[in-house]
Amino acid sequence: MTTVRIPTPLRRFTNGAEDVPATGATVAEVIEDLDRNYAGMKARLCESDGNVRRFVNIYINDEDIRFLQQLQTPVRDGDELSIIPAIAGG
Amino acid sequence: MGKPAPGLDNCRACESVLDYVGNTPLIRLKGLESEIGRPGVELYAKAEWFNPGGSVKDRAALLIVEDAERAGLLTQGKTILESTSGNTGIALAMIGAARGYKVDIVMPSNASEERKQIIESYGARIIYSSPLEGTDGAQRLAHRLCSENPKKYFYSNQYGNDSNWRAHYEGTGVEVYSQTRGRITHFVAGVGTGGTIMGTGRRLKEYNADIKVIAVGPAESLHGIEGLKHMATSIKPAIYDEDFPDAKVSVPTNEAHKWVHRMAKEHGLFIGLSGGAAIHGALKVARKLSCGVVVTVLPDTGARYLSVRF
């Protein structure tokens, strides 16, 4: 089980929850699981070709997956996956 | 050395770097006019990176500080506190250094490295908030810090301070009307705090009630247009009236990014992400006109985003 940390703009998908559990052996599988439980989440995170959108940053614990194996980065039990958006207004 | 601001007497030395806030150039975008292909439509942009702090935010930050000094809310020994995505923090850090105030800036920890370095170079302190909470989280933390230390801080509160929009009412609106010789028909601006659109828009509508004001915002809640707010999913700034604009344009992130690249490579204007969104919005408005003078605001330079992937 992985804990996924949800940024404010996506909490309307999770009924306001800041952290939600998800399963999967890779980041891609965790995102698929998120999308099963919270429909529409994947489209917010990934382009239509499946790649993570450029302005979305995904971290496993404190590591940016762009510097690991991107969507194929392995996810272990107890890991924390954080979705960090770009900074908005002001 | 950059070109002196048009409003100043260039033959004399100025008293302070802060004298150079405002009076930014208005640049005609002839290349984009050709692209639209409507001979009666003119397109202009305010180049706000000509402000000494490098962004439009110098205007609001300076009037906020001056008004607070006049009201006795900001006195020597107090620390200016603000929450920001970056540019307001840079503006206040510069003004604080020039005026002799300490400045504490609350910003999400995922702010770009260049923003952090610029703020710290002016001697201000950065207090980091959660990257998951964005500027809304930074706002909440700044409110809390201020209520815990009311004697220490002057909380400039750009999202709720009328001096923010008044800076544009007294400055940007007057400049745009004068620089277009009163010919402006449409004003298009991005919304972060709402200060630019509310202040400039109010002034322009006082000059001529027929001038249309168009708000530009991100199309999605999770977006990559730094500086702009998705109002439906954010804390709505107290100074922004969502019913004020005559129309709204929603900009997908990839369109804003596309215009940043195109403006640099094809037009010689290296603009920031919210500027890319503003160009998209201005073109959308201009393409529906047979004649008119459309003015938008380019809040900062692309140099502020060199470490951002887009």
pLDDT of residue B309: 65
pLDDT of residue B2: 43
CA dist B136 to B107, B109, B195, B236, Å?
Answer: 10, 13, 17, 9
DSSP B256: H
Rounded to an integer, what distance in angstroms lies between the CA atom of residue B307 and that of residue A54? Answer: 13
* Mean pLDDT value across residues B225-254: 94
Q: Tell me: the pLDDT tens digits for B151-205?
A: 999 999 999 999 999 999 999 999 999 999 999 999 999 999 999 999 999 999 9
pLDDT at B53 over 90: yes
- DSSP annotation string for B70-92: HTTSS-TT-EEEEE-SSHHHHHH
The yes-or-no answer on residue B274 being catalytic is yes
Rounded to an integer, what distance in angstroms lies between the CA atom of residue A23 and that of residue A75? Answer: 9
Q: Tell me: the pLDDT tens digits for B9-18?
A: 667 888 999 9
Q: Tell me: the pLDDT tens digits for A3-50?
A: 999 999 999 999 999 999 999 999 999 999 999 999 999 999 999 999
Give yes or no for B159 touching A (CB within 8 A).
yes
Classified as helix, coil or strand, A5 is strand
Where exactly are the structural domains of chain A?
Answer: 2-85
Closest CA to B264 of B206, B207, B305, B307: B305
The shortest C-alpha distance from A11 to chain B (Å) reads 9
Residues of B in contact with A85 (CB under 8 A): 134, 222-224
Classified as helix, coil or strand, B250 is strand
- Nearest chain A residue to B57, by CA: A90
What's the fold here for domain A2-85? Ubiquitin-like (UB roll) (3.10.20)
The H-or-E segment that residue B158 falls in is: none
Sole residue written with tokens 């073109």? B283
pLDDT of residue B13: 86
Whole-model pTM: value is 0.93
Closest CA to B308 of B280, B276, B285, B283: B276
Edge-to-edge order in the sheet of strand B79-83: B125-129, B102-108, B79-83, B153-155
pLDDT at B5 over 80: no
Give yes or no for B278 touching A (CB within 8 A).
no
Residues of B in contact with A31 (CB under 8 A): none
Q: Which two tokens stand for residue A11?
A: 């909490």
pLDDT at B67 over 90: yes
Q: Tell me: the pLDDT tens digits for B128-139?
A: 999 999 888 999
Give yes or no for A76 touching B (CB within 8 A).
no
- Nearest chain B residue to A58, by CA: B132
